[in-house]
């Protein structure tokens, strides 16, 4: 969609934070040296990295864990705060390694080239690899604890950074099952995660593949590097206990016959038992080899204090998933995630000051993967208090939405989605009709409490909302307007200033299966032609990018042109024939002609902004893109400002819910200048009912009791005070002429109807079609209608007796 680019906003925010931090140090003590800020981390390495940065195909991928197997590499790097000035002061990095007794391991040259950046997109805005001696590789030779230290020297001083690693061997899932099927082992409480994990696709992907049961019959030896545990063909890793090493020892060969027509294949059962234990995607793929976990767990269970427990990783880093799922086009979920705003969420809610004040507990619900997991896991309504949340920064990665261990009562085993049945919004509304999109609405809502309370409390200098989500106790905050990204509120048509009016909403919230997911995760073809080249839209929009458009760039000499390409395929299921999101619907802005819906919304935003004060508190009549709201604004100005921010922060410019967005803006304008905006519903209602405070003046009121609400009579230009007469079969009304020989008058009743309006081209015929379910086939409504001029056509089609109907117009030939 043509909306604010949240990725760029987040990038700007993060970069500003980083630069201000450095600048602040310089300004406070101009003569002091740079404050050294660095860290040493194991960088994940994905198939996508190898392809994108032209690295040798023989390189082993890595999840970037601190627990890994003997013989496998940890791609270490010293990362320093993002500032070219700061980085230029670094003169040397001195590396050192402390190994277990008997180890001959050394740090060696890292094969990652200088064009390979820091792993996480959000970290790239804050950190860069030290330009001097910034990378090394650790390939351990025996099990045990390893410590890597780096001394970063610069012209302004030195700083010491280090990282500890658990190195072990794979034990296989059968060992994990022994403990994680029960809740306690001795005095140790353990999570019962094996039973739910065993129902997931990860648990059986290899089994089904070698049995020939997977759809498509495409399974081959090339698949097993990701579908097994510890598959590393490097000679140094043959004794790591992983799949490849055991395969070589046992002499097992990949089956030559995967055809399985009678479900009697023995490819799986004939495998050696120790090899089956490290087949499939098991616990150790994500947590690291378990040998360093088993003994500490036993000792801890017996009551012994074990400082090395648990001896494996519990990581939220997306590298754990992307070591397999960043491999477009076949496994592109991680590749797509890189283009998402989730990949660059701001780190500010988990800053040191937020942690110290306790505010981080309320921000991390949505700005931190473990915080989000805690809130959706502890309370179905998402209002529980997270008192011991890990507030260390992590992007909104795979595990925020997906439970890798599966669910006790799985509702979507194929996608491992976390079970979220409802979302509670800031005004107390509980939404249950969003399907998989409920997971999105948990965060994509205004978490700043009720709109009415927010406006009322702001000038009184009291907290405008309690907690971070309605129902939570704890710190309150004074913050005017909705929280960023209130798309859930907009889609549902709730929690804004409605002035007591019944403002209609679009059918999106009811008709789009799985709400947010139904559109933003639309399927896009991975290739553009038969030669298999990847369609840029495939990794830049749809799927796990959640983006509805992407930018294509063309170069002509030194001129770079940006072309935003909207992905409208999913919209055309209902809207048919649109090429971008700014398509004409209605004259929402009362400009006398029907413009694109996003253009109309922007016109209304501009009009409203001219009626609100500038940063000096003066109503100057200028168009504003943002507001500086102070406590001395009038109630009317505050209410209008809330709606301005609400529509702006939604970001879709009306696409999520055009009637509600434009209704709010028109109502706000009317409240500031009076209701008689020419052509508006308010002006029409005031004309007939005297005042908008009259209960009969609302959009859904039916003052004559004839079953035709005011909004429909307004659309038809009918007198709302004259009772209509019901016709048995409804009517189709077109350009002032009724079809079927009936003459439209103010006594004509349309009990239920759909208003269909479109522009025409002379010489083209148009066929209205309807369907009661988007999974069904489209049926013609009447006969084709030939256009004789370029005027728009407006049809009302009867829908009486149907639970729901969808309509589209098909042209012939296509204009």
- Which DSSP category does 185 fall into? E
- Per the CB < 8 A criterion, the answer to whether 120 and 68 are in contact is no
Residue 527: pLDDT band with limits 50, 70, 90: confident
- Which DSSP category does 435 fall into? G
- Which DSSP category does 718 fall into? -
pLDDT at 174 over 50: yes
- Which DSSP category does 481 fall into? S
- Look at residues 10, 23, 6 and name the one whose alpha carbon lies nearest to residue 124: 10
pLDDT at 425 over 80: yes
Inter-CA distances, 243 with 194, 212, 272, 273, 327, Å: 20, 20, 11, 12, 21
Instruction: Report the pLDDT value the prediction gives residue 536, as an integer from 0 to 100.
Output: 87
Q: What is the pLDDT of residues 685-723, one digit of tens each?
A: 888 888 777 888 877 788 888 777 787 677 666 778 877
> Is cis: bond before 112, omega within 30 of 0?
no
Q: What is the pLDDT of residues 217-235, one digit of tens each?
A: 688 999 999 999 999 999 9
Q: What mean pLDDT do residues 60-70 have?
A: 96
pLDDT at 194 over 60: yes
Put the strands of the sheet holding 90-98 in their side by side order: 67-69, 157-168, 144-154, 90-98
Instruction: Report the pLDDT value the prediction gives residue 753, as an integer from 0 to 100.
Output: 62
Sign of CA dihedral 525, 530, 535, 539: positive
pLDDT at 607 over 80: yes
DSSP 19-48: HHHHHHHHHHSTTSPP---EEEEEEPB-HH
Instruction: Report the pLDDT value the prediction gives residue 478, as an integer from 0 to 100.
Output: 80
Q: What is the pLDDT of residues 774-804, one digit of tens each?
A: 656 788 877 788 776 666 666 666 554 555 6
Q: Mean pLDDT across the chain, nearest whole number?
A: 81
- Per the CB < 8 A criterion, the answer to whether 423 and 382 are in contact is yes
Residue range(s) occupied by CATH 2.60.40.10 in the chain: 6-168
Question: What whole-number percentage of the chain has pLDDT above 70?
Answer: 77
Q: What mean pLDDT do residues 238-250 have?
A: 96
Instruction: Report the pLDDT value the prediction gives residue 349, as an integer from 0 to 100.
Output: 55
Match 């976990």 to its residue by tokens: 293
Fold topology of 6-168: Immunoglobulin-like (2.60.40)
More confident site: 57 or 311: 57
Residue 202: pLDDT band with limits 50, 70, 90: very high
Residue 739: pLDDT band with limits 50, 70, 90: very low
Q: What is the pLDDT of residues 6-48, one digit of tens each?
A: 333 333 333 333 332 322 222 222 333 445 689 999 999 999 9
pLDDT at 262 over 60: no
Cα(82)–Cα(128) distance, rounded to whole angstroms? 6
Question: What whole-number percentage of the chain has pLDDT above 90?
Answer: 48
To which H or E segment does residue 168 belong? strand 157-168
SS (H, E, C) 223-263: HHHHHECCCCCCHHHCCCCCHHHHHHHHCCCCCCCCCCCCC
Cα(80)–Cα(126) distance, rounded to whole angstroms? 8
Cα(148)–Cα(152) distance, rounded to whole angstroms? 13
- Look at residues 389, 382, 611, 346 and name the one whose alpha carbon lies nearest to residue 484: 346
Instruction: Report the pLDDT value the prediction gives residue 700, as an integer from 0 to 100.
Output: 72
pLDDT at 742 over 60: no
**Alpha-carbon torsion angle 632, 637, 638, 642, nearest 10:** -150
DSSP 436-475: GGHHHHTTSS--S--HHHHHHHGGGTS-SEESSSTT--S-
Cα(596)–Cα(110) distance, rounded to whole angstroms? 54
pLDDT at 378 over 70: no
Q: What is the pLDDT of residues 77-106, one digit of tens each?
A: 999 986 666 778 899 999 999 999 999 999
Strands 423-424 and 430-431: antiparallel
Assessment of whether the complete model's pTM goes beyond 0.85: no
């Amino acid at each position: 969609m043509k909306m604010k680019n949240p990725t760029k906003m987040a990038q700007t925010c993060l970069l500003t934070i980083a630069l201000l931090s450095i600048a602040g140090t310089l300004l406070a003590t101009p003569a002091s040296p740079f404050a050294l800020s660095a860290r040493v981390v194991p960088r994940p390495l994905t198939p996508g990295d190898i392809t994108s940065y032209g690295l040798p195909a023989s390189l082993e991928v890595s999840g970037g864990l601190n627990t890994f197997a003997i013989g496998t590499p940890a791609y270490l790097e010293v990362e320093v705060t993002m500032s070219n000035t700061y980085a230029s002061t670094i003169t040397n990095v001195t590396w050192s390694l402390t190994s277990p007794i008997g180890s001959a391991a050394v740090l060696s040259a890292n094969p990652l080239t200088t064009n390979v950046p820091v792993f996480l997109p959000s970290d790239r805005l804050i950190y860069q690899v030290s330009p001097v001696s910034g990378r090394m590789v650790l390939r351990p030779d025996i099990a045990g604890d390893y410590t890597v230290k780096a001394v970063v020297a610069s012209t302004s001083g030195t700083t010491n950074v280090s990282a500890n690693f658990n190195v072990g061997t794979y034990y296989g899932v059968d060992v994990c099952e022994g403990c994680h099927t029960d809740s306690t082992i001795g005095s140790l409480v353990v999570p019962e995660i094996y039973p739910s994990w065993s129902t997931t696709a990860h648990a059986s992907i290899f089994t089904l593949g070698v049995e020939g049961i997977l759809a498509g019959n495409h399974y081959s030896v090339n698949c097993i590097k990701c579908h097994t545990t510890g598959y590393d063909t490097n000679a140094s890793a043959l004794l790591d206990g992983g799949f490849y090493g055991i395969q070589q020892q046992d002499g097992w060969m990949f089956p030559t016959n995967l055809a399985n027509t009678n479900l009697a294949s023995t490819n799986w059962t004939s495998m050696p038992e120790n090899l089956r234990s490290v087949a499939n995607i098991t616990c150790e793929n994500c947590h690291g080899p378990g040998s360093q976990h088993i003994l500490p767990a036993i000792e801890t269970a017996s009551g012994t204090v074990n400082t090395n427990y648990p001896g494996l990783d519990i990581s939220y880093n997306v590298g754990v998933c992307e070591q397999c799922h960043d491999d477009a086009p076949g496994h592109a979920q991680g590749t797509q995630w890189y283009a998402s705003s989730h990949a660059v969420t701001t780190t500010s809610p988990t800053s040191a000051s937020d942690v110290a004040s306790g505010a981080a507990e309320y921000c991390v619900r949505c700005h931190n993967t473990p915080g989000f997991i805690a809130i959706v896991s502890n309370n179905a309504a998402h209002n529980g208090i997270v008192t011991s949340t890990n507030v260390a920064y992590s992007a909104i990665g795979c595990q925020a939405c997906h439970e890798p261990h599966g669910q006790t009562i799985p509702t979507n085993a194929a996608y491992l989605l976390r079970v979220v049945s409802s979302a509670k919004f800031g005004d107390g509304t509980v939404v249950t009709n969003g399907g998989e999109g409920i997971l999105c609405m948990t965060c994509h809502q205004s978490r700043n409490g009720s709109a009415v309370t927010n406006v009322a409390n702001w000038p009184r200098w009291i907290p405008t909302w309690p907690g971070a989500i309605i129902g939570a106790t704890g710190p309150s905050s004074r913050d005017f307007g909705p929280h960023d990204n209130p798309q859930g509120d907009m889609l549902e048509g709730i929690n804004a200033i409605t002035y007591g009016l019944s403002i209609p909403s679009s059918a999106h919230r009811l008709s789009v299966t799985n709400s947010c997911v139904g559109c933003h995760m639309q399927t896009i073809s991975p290739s553009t032609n038969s030669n298999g080249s990847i369609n840029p839209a495939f990794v830049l929009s749809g799927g796990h990018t959640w983006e509805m458009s992407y930018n294509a760039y063309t170069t002509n000499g030194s001129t770079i042109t940006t072309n935003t390409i909207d992905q409208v395929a999913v919209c055309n299921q209902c809207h048919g024939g649109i090429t971008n999101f700014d398509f004409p619907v209605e004259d929402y802005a009362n400009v006398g002609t029907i413009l694109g819906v996003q253009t109309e919304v922007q016109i209304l935003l501009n009009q409203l902004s001219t009626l609100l004060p500038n940063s000096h508190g003066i109503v100057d009549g200028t168009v504003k893109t943002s507001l500086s709201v102070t406590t001395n604004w009038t109630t009317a100005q505050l209410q209008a400002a809330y709606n301005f921010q609400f529509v702006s922060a939604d970001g879709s410019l009306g696409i999520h819910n055009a009637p509600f967005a434009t209704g709010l803006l028109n109502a706000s304008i009317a409240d500031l200048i009076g209701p008689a905006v020419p052509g508006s519903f308010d002006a029409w209602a005031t004309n007939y009912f005297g005042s908008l405070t009259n209960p009969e003046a609302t959009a859904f009121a039916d003052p004559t009791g004839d079953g035709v609400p005011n909004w429909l009579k307004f659309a038809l230009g009918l007198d709302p005070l004259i009772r209509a007469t019901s016709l048995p079969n409804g009517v189709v009304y077109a350009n002032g002429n009724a079809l079927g020989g009936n003459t439209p008058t103010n006594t004509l009743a349309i009990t239920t109807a759909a208003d269909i309006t479109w522009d025409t081209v002379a010489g083209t015929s148009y066929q209205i079609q309807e369907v009661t379910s988007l999974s069904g086939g489209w049926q013609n409504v009447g006969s084709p209608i030939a256009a004789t001029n370029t005027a728009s056509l407006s049809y009302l089609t009867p829908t009486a007796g149907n639970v729901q109907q969808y309509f589209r117009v098909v042209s012939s030939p296509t204009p």
